[in-house]
Amino acid sequence: MGFLNRRSGQGGEDGEARARRQSEDIARIAAGGIPQAAEERLRTLGAEAGQAFTSDLSVPEFALVRRAGLEPITQVLGSCAYHVGWQFMGGGWYTTSQELTTLSDAYNDCRKRAFDRLRVEAELAGADAVVGVRVTAARYEWATDLIEFQAIGTAVRAPELRTPAGPALTNLSGQDCALLLAAGHRPCGVIGATAVFFGTLYTWTQPIPTTAWGAWANVEMVGATQTWYAARHRVLRSLEADAAVLGAGGIVATQWGQEERPYESGDRLAGITFIIHALATAIAPGGGHDSAPIASILSLSKEPA
């Protein structure tokens, strides 16, 4: 009976230890960090510890990354689940196009926190860069006010890629990263932006003809077009500003993603909420090669950001 009591007491202490660690992990996450167990694992990586590296690189990616002098260490993750606050709409909001700044800010802050945690994991692993960063954005039917960003990539040792702010992040694949280095450029970091705009389908200066609702005439939805332009330019301005902060000369490998959510008034479609995501790598000349200034190179493929 004494043995059982001893086990019960030990179990209680273990339970208290688990609760204390969970409380500490919550505090770490609230401060922008990662759980203690993840930190402990990342601090003990490397061949010197007798551990094999892990990566999500394909065989061609691995071969080209190694040829370029990059040494894979481990897969790293950055994640953030985020509650979206209340969006106040001014009077007459359903007749004008406007940015829903509360929603835009929520997406952008959530992504930044995921990137920050990805960089923390890379730093703890002793990495100089993270290549092949893949970012996914998610919303859930069971929690309409919740969004989530996950960023996953392969941490590598490459002293020439390290930036003053820490490990450089890039969404370039292993092959593309090797090509970039061979061309005399280096990645400065991953940059991302989201813009959420509500757009009407028409404007008061260009109302839709009555026949258009009966599909009897072709007519451009000027309000929707205007809103798309505003959202895209908002995203591009954000990307350019972030690239400038990193000291980059341009951006490459831009991935675009978009969502649309209809707004109905009565029995007709009155407007649409447009959500545009973009993800890219900021780059700068490096590696001892002279080069011309870099222009932004955009891909119009519809990929999630």
Q: Is 70 exceeded by the pLDDT of residue 9?
A: no
Q: How many residues are given for the chain? A: 305
132: left (phi over 0), alpha (psi -120 to 50) or beta: left
pLDDT at 235: 95
Handedness of CA 149, 195, 297, 122 (dihedral sign): negative
Report how far Cα 184 is from the mean position of its chain's Cα atoms.
26
pLDDT at 47: 43
Closest listed residue to residue 230, CA positions, set 276, 177, 261: 276
Token pair in block for residue 163: 């930036």
Mean pLDDT of the 121-137 span: 89
Closest listed residue to residue 47, CA positions, set 154, 125, 152: 125
- Summarize pLDDT for 164-221 with one digit per residue, the tens: 888 999 999 888 988 998 899 999 999 999 999 988 766 545 555 555 555 566 777 7
Q: What are φ and ψ of residue 156, in 5° steps?
A: -135, 155
Longest distance between any two alpha carbons in the chain, whole Å: 88
With contact defined as beta carbons under 8 Å apart, do 200 and 157 qualify? no
Mean pLDDT of the 235-246 span: 93
Token pair in block for residue 165: 């702010």
For 211, 258, 276, 300, the CA distances from 232, given in Å and listed in that order, are 31, 10, 7, 12
More confident residue, 110 or 268: 110
With contact defined as beta carbons under 8 Å apart, do 155 and 72 qualify? yes
Closest listed residue to residue 203, CA positions, set 258, 263, 266, 271: 271
> Using H for helix, E for strand and C for coil, what is the string for the chain?
CHHHHHHHHHHHHHHHHHHHHHHHHHHHHHCCCCCHHHHHHHCCCCHHHCCCCCCCCCHHHHHHHHHCCCEEEEEEEEEEEEECCCCCCCCCHHHCCEECHHHHHHHHHHHHHHHHHHHHHHHHCCCCEEEEEEEEEEEECCEEEEEEEEEEEEEEECHHHCECCECEECCCCHHHHHHHHHCCEEEEEEEEEEEEEEEECCECCECCCHHHHCCCCCCCCHHHHHHHHHHHHHHHHHHHHHHHHCCCCEEEEEEEEEEEEEEEECCEEEEEEEEEEEEEEEEEECCCCCCCCCCCCEEEEECCC
More confident residue, 288 or 162: 162
| Gap between the Cα atoms of 186 and 301, Å rounded | 24
- Summarize pLDDT for 75-127 with one digit per residue, the tens: 899 999 998 877 776 655 555 678 899 999 999 999 999 999 999 899 888 88
Token pair 């009565």 is found at: 266
Mean pLDDT of the 276-293 span: 72
Q: What predicted TM-score, i.e. pTM, was given to this entire model?
A: 0.76
With contact defined as beta carbons under 8 Å apart, do 132 and 173 qualify? yes
Token pair 């694949």 is found at: 173
pLDDT band for position 63 (50/70/90)? confident
Mean pLDDT of the 132-157 span: 85
